[in-house]
Each structure stands twice: as structure tokens, then as C-alpha cells.
Structure 1
Amino acid sequence: MKFSATAVVLIVLGVVLLMNNLGLADFDLGRLIVRWWPAILIVLGISMLFRRGGPR
């Protein structure tokens, strides 16, 4: 089974938006992205390193 960071990001984004639309949580997506964008870049970089033996 191959890990796909893009798929995980899309799933998490979908869950957050769905919870916000259903009123289960009060998320300000813009504020979350502004605060956590460096962590997102780090996770994507790490996933690229572990994909098929590292970068080429």
C-alpha cells in the first residue's frame, strides 16, 4: 500500500469542511491555513523523501 500525502490532505480538508457545514465544529479554514502552512510543507517534504527511496 502506497502512502499518498495528497490523498491524506484532501481527506482531512474534506472532513474539516464537512464538520463546519454540519455545525459540528466552528473552524475558520483561512486562519488554520495561515497558522499551519509551514507544518503542511514539512509533512509534504517528508512524504516525498519516503516515496520510492527518496528524491531522484
Structure 2
Amino acid sequence: MGSNVFAALVLIVVGLFFLARNLGWIDTGLGALLATWWPAGLVVVGVAMLLRRK
């Protein structure tokens, strides 16, 4: 069940990103965003792994 929740959250975040880009709220491309925020993804995965151990 935990992986289903994680996959659902990833889809929601990606969908919100594309929606915000289409509405003109953000002007950056996906490549620039990933180049900037990829370490945050590692932190999220690490925290999820720690919480799953309990």
C-alpha cells in the first residue's frame, strides 16, 4: 500500500507541475526544474525509507 500512495503522490505532483506550466504560473522547463531540485527527491526517498522501517 505504501508504494501505491507514493506513486499516486508522484502522479499528482507531476500533474500539478504541468498544469501550472500550462496556466503560465511557472516559466521554467521540466529539465531546468529537475536540474535544480533532484537532491530534494533523494531526501524524500530517504525519509520514506526511514518511515517505512517502523
TM-score, normalised by the number of residues in structure 2: 0.68
Alignment correspondent of 2:35: 34
Greater fraction helix: 2
Q: Please say if residues 16 and 27 of structure 1, whose CA atoms lie closer than 8 Å, have aligned partners that are also in contact.
A: no
Tell me the distance in 2 between the aligned counterparts of 1:19 and 1:29. 12
Q: Give, in whole Å, the separation in 2 of the partners of 1:14 and 1:34.
A: 18
Q: What is the rounded CA distance, in whole Å, between the counterparts of 1:37 and 1:10 in structure 2?
A: 16
Distance 1:38 1:24, change over 3 A: closer
RMSD, matched Cα: 2.3
The amino acid that maps onto 1:9 is V
Give the TM-score normalised by structure 1.
0.66
Paired residues, what number? Answer: 52
Q: Which runs of 5+ in 2 are unaligned?
A: none
2:18 pairs with 1:17: yes
Ranked by relative contact order (alpha carbons within 8 Å, sequence separation 6 or more), the top structure is 1
Consecutive unaligned residues of structure 1, counting only runs of 5 or more, are: none
What SS does the corresponding residue of 2:27 show, helix, strand or coil? Answer: coil
